[in-house]
Amino acid sequence: MTTPTLPTFRDGAQAHWNEAIDALRRIYGSQPEFDLFVERIRALLAETARSRPEDLRQLYEQRMANPRWYLRADQLAYSTYLDRFAGDLRTAIQRITYLKRLGVTYLHLLPIMKMRSDQNDSGFAVSDYRLVDPRFGDNDDLVHLGRALRQNDISLCLDFVCNHTSENHPWAEAAKSGDSYYRDFYHVLTSEAEKQRFEAGLSEIFPESAPGNFTFCEAFGGWVWTTFYPYQWDLNFANPNVFEAMLGNLLYLANLGVEVFRVDAAPYLWKRAGSECFNEPEVFDILRAFRALLAIATPAVIFKGEAIAPARQTARYLSKDGPAAPPCHIAYQASLMTASWAALASGDVTALTEIFNQTPQIDESAAWLTYVRCHDDIGWQVYFDDLNAGEQARASGLASLRNFYGGAEIGSFAEGVPFQAHGSIGTTASLCGLGKALSGSDAVAVDLAIDRILAMYALPFACGGIPLIWMGDEIGLLNDDEFQLDPRYDGDNRWLHRGKMPWDRLDVGDAVASRLFEGFLKLSVLRRRAGILPTARPLAEASDDKRAIVIRHVDLTNVRVAINVSQQTTDVSLPTEHVWRDLENGVPVGEAVISLPAYAVRWMWDR
């Protein structure tokens, strides 16, 4: 079979087309109507390119002169729920000045497309991929926000929930009504034996609130695959019509002005009996095909992979397979996130340093997304997988961390709560002890909590990748217990760390909020001054007493960032062949050994 040619949209389109067709052929090549499927894909690309708005066309043409625009030195991500940050899309435009002041270059709004009206897994139960949920405005409002962000050099990132739809999505409703075409959009198992054959290899995402992976549906007389919640039906990507339909949704949203897509639950896209149905080979072909096809019709749109797993597994999303480009441009660095919280609890950086240095090298066209908190829990299973912990060590370690961050351990400063069987939740500020300190009117404890927050964020800012700020961390947002009053959040205590942005604290010049905000600004300045790029390859070593981690970079040997994760003063040795200066003020360090107070961060270079 010959590779179909593609009418030229722009230089380089043919290479992307060939890459996409190679991936699609590996997945769907045995389908009897594969050639017709390819022709429909080609027509869809052509129509998307023809209907692309002129302002986006111009933006993309500019970016093709610098196709790695997302790897520039000043990249800074900000993630939030729209209603928590601004209420709706129109009001969000008024908050751009704030984002600009903070230095944000891309804004990730968690799901805003039409969703199930009651429980909807925080918007991830999508009812329509092409319509903004009326609570937030309409599609015109989304276009206007995207345009206003671009005018301020901020890219818009939205979730692409591609593993599942809501049970009330039109495809699901058609399937329930007996439409065989749409029934094949989902995984339907009609016998208990077949269900058990798949279930044997699967883990549970929400074992307490949504146990199991299948939900019985009367309309089918069988079970629908529901990895997450019973009202979220997994799509059947073994059906090429599903790929085509989801590609159409991607292209539509890209033409509304979305520049970054967070590919939600990417590892679960392919199901295979006898496997964990996690990161199967076809997952990477699906993403590579999506990426290549978008590069043709909507160039410069990028993918952020949401694969919360040890870095040695997640690196596959950012690595080439032969000549083929990586499946994604960016992916979450969950290993460093979980290890940094474990280090803060213990005051020991031994495991953090080990995990830091075993992070695989990725392709030069890709970058990690480095972060402290996000909308989800701190999933400790990643940490213990990284350490290859045995069953007993895993159980005792998990209990200790959940107790510490739940405030149940003697000496804990944290005010979080456990999540399901494997995680902990809470805002960065509450987990770092700010809530306890403020309620006790303890000025010393407040200072320590602020220093903890800034020490935690110093790690992602110092280690390369693209640092991400979870909304409110930059001003010390505390846990919000009021979520329990909303029935939509029943059974999902992650809303504890998804409170509303307290704009009034900024308006009145709150001292703690101001100190933290200035601290975040300083982190951005020091990162840029040091010349740390998203593609930097970091290495780390521990201080002699294991209380501090010292970060350097393979290609930036004249920079050191020392971070004390403990409440005790610690000494850090510096290489004597360099003449070290404080990066913030240029003052010579003057010693081969420096002393770091509790939770202190020191940026140094030898220029």
Q: Which residues are catalytic?
A: 264, 306
Please give the sequence-ordered ranges of beta strands (E in DSSP) within 269-416, or none if there are none: 302-305, 330-332, 367-371, 378-379
Contacts 24+ apart (CB under 8 A), 38-44: 38/4, 39/4, 40/244, 41/244, 41/247, 41/293, 42/4, 42/6, 42/7, 44/244, 44/247, 44/248, 44/251, 44/297
Residue 130, Cβ neighbours under 10 Å: how many? Answer: 12
Distance (Å, rounded) from C-alpha 307 to C-alpha 511? 37
Give, in order, the Cα–Cα distances in Å from 2 to each of 21, 45, 86, 323, 479: 10, 20, 52, 19, 58
Residue 272, Cβ neighbours under 10 Å: how many? Answer: 14
Query: Is 606 within 8 Å of 581 (Cβ atoms)?
Result: yes
Tokens of 16: 């992307």
Tokens of 405: 């961050």
Distance (Å, rounded) from C-alpha 560 to C-alpha 553? 8
Run of H or E including 180: helix 180-183
Burial of 337 (0-12, 13-18, 19+ CB in 10 A): buried
Distance (Å, rounded) from C-alpha 214 to C-alpha 199? 8
Instruction: For Cα atoms 163, 164, 167, give the angle at the middle one, nearest 5 degrees.
Output: 175
Distance (Å, rounded) from C-alpha 365 to C-alpha 254? 21
- Residue-wise burial string across 283-321, b where 16 or more C-beta atoms lie within 10 A, e elsewhere: bbbbbbbbbbbbbbbbbbbbbbbbbbbbbebbbbbbbee
Please give the sequence-ordered ranges of beta strands (E in DSSP) within 145-242, or none if there are none: 155-161, 164-166, 188-189, 214-217, 222-225, 232-234
Query: Is 235 within 8 Å of 277 (Cβ atoms)?
Result: no
Residue 68, Cβ neighbours under 10 Å: how many? Answer: 16
- Phi first, then psi: give them for residue 292, nearest 5 degrees: -65, -40
Q: Kindly give the pairing relationship between strand 164-166 and strand 581-582.
A: unpaired
Please provide the DSSP assignment of 343-376 as one string: HHHHT--HHHHHHHHTPPP--TT-EEEEES--SS
Query: Is 509 within 8 Å of 457 (Cβ atoms)?
Result: no
Identify residue 111 by its one-letter amino acid code.
P
Burial of 193 (0-12, 13-18, 19+ CB in 10 A): exposed
Give, in order, the Cα–Cα distances in Å from 598 to each of 216, 302, 452: 54, 40, 9
Q: Is 279 helix (H, G, I), strand (E, B) or coil?
A: coil
Distance (Å, rounded) from C-alpha 210 to C-alpha 180? 28
Identify residue 472 by its one-letter amino acid code.
G
